[in-house]
Amino acid sequence: MRTTMTDNPAEVYSLARELIAACEASGHNDVAKQIDEALHAGSSALEILGAIRTAFIDHRAVLNLFVDSGQLDSAIAFVDAAFGRG
C-alpha cells in the first residue's frame, strides 16, 4: 500500500477500498462493513470522508494489521484539513 501523504479524496477512497478487501479476507467483516457503509454515507464528499474518518479511528487497531499507522494518520489528517480542523 501507499507510503506517501494523502493529498486528495480519491486516495482516501482507494485506501478505504483496499482496507475493505483486507478486512474481508481476514474475517474482520464487521470492520469491512462499517468502512463500506462509510463509502456510501450521504451525498457529499465531505459526508463520505467524515464517515470514513470515523471508521478509520474506530477500528484503528484492526486496520493497523494491514497498513502502517502513518497511512491512516495521513488519511485522517487529510479529512481533518478538508473540514478545517488542522
Residue boundaries of the structural domains of the chain: 9-82
Provide the percentage of residues in the chain whose pLDDT is more than 70.
94
On the question of pLDDT at 65 being above 70, the answer is yes
Please tell me the predicted confidence (pLDDT) of residue 14. 96
List pLDDT tens digits, range 14-56: 999 999 999 999 999 999 999 999 999 988 999 999 999 999 9
For residue 5, which phi and psi values (nearest 5 degrees)? -70, 140
- Express as a percent the part of the chain with pLDDT over 90: 84
What is the model's pLDDT at position 3? Answer: 55
Could you tell me the sign of the dihedral formed by the alpha carbons of 66, 32, 13, 79, in that order? negative
Prediction pTM value: 0.91
14: helix, coil or strand?
helix
Mean pLDDT of the chain: 93
